[in-house]
Structure formats: structure tokens, C-alpha cells
Amino acid sequence: MTQPPFRIGTAGWNVPSMYFDQVPPGGSHLERYARRLNAVEINSSFHRPHRRTTYQRWAQSVPDDFRFSVKVPKAITHAAGLADCGALLDRFAEEVTGLGCKLGALLVQLPPTSVLGKRLANRFFRDLRARIDIDVVLEPRHASWFAPGVDDWLAQRRIARVAADPARIAGAGAPGGWNKLAYYRWHGSPRIYYSDYGATALAALKRHLEDRARESSTWCIFDNTTSGAALGNALTLARSLQRQR
């Protein structure tokens, strides 16, 4: 099966009432969502574990070409700080591989206090890949991860770096690391998690995605879900990209 040139979605698949008329009726929120968008980011996994059977049920609810990205639990990234988390990785891998071939990527978001330690990070990414051989994208939020040479270090390990909006650190707004995966994660700007993106911002984003898609698997996830704006932004962007195909 040919992979779609873009994967557009939101953090979670809730369908706010204001968008009920833009998604087909019938079925669960996930089933309705998946009839209009081809990807979603599971954020709830960051806060709590899900049973393997739950992931399997989600996978069975969506079309064959739909893909999930899944956020690695904060018990690993924040509490353990990537260290000595073999048992936690074992549990996560057993659960999330219930998605089967519909698991498209893993998101590793680090706390703002997480300084790059190459030996620790190398061991963690090696252990993660040994359990789940899938694309990995990193969202670091400390300046040490944006120092000269770090992008090359990530690329050597096939780790992509998120293009975040708003970008709190110089360079964080553009994809980095491994260039075969571009993962845009737009949180809402100027008010993070709330602000709706207007036509000008979405048009600029569309151009970035089209440029990256020439060489990369290209994702865009809207995380401005608190106000319900994410789904509207994703639907608008997806329609705009489809008109160009």
C-alpha cells in the first residue's frame, strides 16, 4: 500500500459539537474522526497505561491506511528521566504493539529541565528500538538539545526532532534530526493549547509540509485541543492539501 504524502491529525480524537457537521455520523468519535483524517496522536498514554486490548480495539476501528502516533509515558520520560526503565519499556511495548501495523510513530517528549546526556539518551533509544522497531520523534525542550552537532547525532540514530509551535528555543520550529520523518506539532499560538490558527498561519504551514514531503514522511498534529480548535485546523489543512493532489 502506498503511504499518503501527509498525515494530518490532532492530539486525541474527540469531536467537539461545533464540528459535528464536518464529520460523517455514526459510530464512536474515533470512527467518525477517522473518516476525515488519516492520523491521530494518542496523548493519554503519557498519563496512564492502556490495555493491549484497548489498543487493539482502536486499531480495528479505523481504516487500513490510518496511523497512530503514541506518546511515551511520563513515567519513562519525566519520572525516570530515561534511566533504568527497562521494565517500564517492556510494559509499554506489550501494550502499544496492540496497534499492529497501524502504529506509525512514537513521540518522546522531554521536560524542559532534561539536559542532553548522550550516553543515557543513546542507551534509552537503543532499548526503545529493541522493543518497538518504529519511527521515533523527539520533542526536547532544553537548549542543550539544539547545540551544534546534536541534529547529526540524532540523525545517526534515526531519531527525528519535532517542529514545534510555538518554538521556545531557537531552531525548535523546524524539523531536525533524522530527515526521513518530519513531525510538526502545533500547540496553539499565542495562547498554548487554546489559540486557533488563522488562514495565514495554515497557509504557511501547508507550504512547509509540501516542501518536506519531497523527502520525508510528513506528519502534522494539532495540540490546541483545550478550546476545540485543533480539529477545525486539521480539517482545514487536510482539505487544502487534498485540493493540491
Average pLDDT for 19-30: 92
pLDDT in tens, 165-176: 999 999 999 999
pLDDT in tens, 76-93: 999 999 999 999 999 999
C-alpha cell at 128: 526503545
Structure confidence at residue 1 (pLDDT): 42
Average pLDDT for 114-131: 98
Structure confidence at residue 245 (pLDDT): 53
Query: What is the overall mean pLDDT for the chain?
Result: 95
Average pLDDT for 114-136: 98
Structure confidence at residue 242 (pLDDT): 85
Closest CA to 175 of 197, 151, 153: 151
Bond before 49 cis per omega within 30 degrees: no
pLDDT surpasses 60 at 101:
yes
Amino acid at 100: G
pLDDT surpasses 50 at 39:
yes
Structure confidence at residue 3 (pLDDT): 61
pLDDT surpasses 70 at 18:
yes
pLDDT surpasses 90 at 183:
yes
Query: What is residue 97's three-state secondary structure?
Result: helix
Q: What does the buried/exposed string (b/e) look like for 181-198 if buried means 16 or more CB atoms within 10 Å of the residue's CB?
A: bbbbbbbbbeeeeebbbe
Structure confidence at residue 5 (pLDDT): 82
Closest CA to 242 of 7, 2, 61: 7
Average pLDDT for 22-47: 95
Structure confidence at residue 244 (pLDDT): 57
Average pLDDT for 43-56: 98
pLDDT band at 162 (very low <50, low <70, confident <90, very high): very high
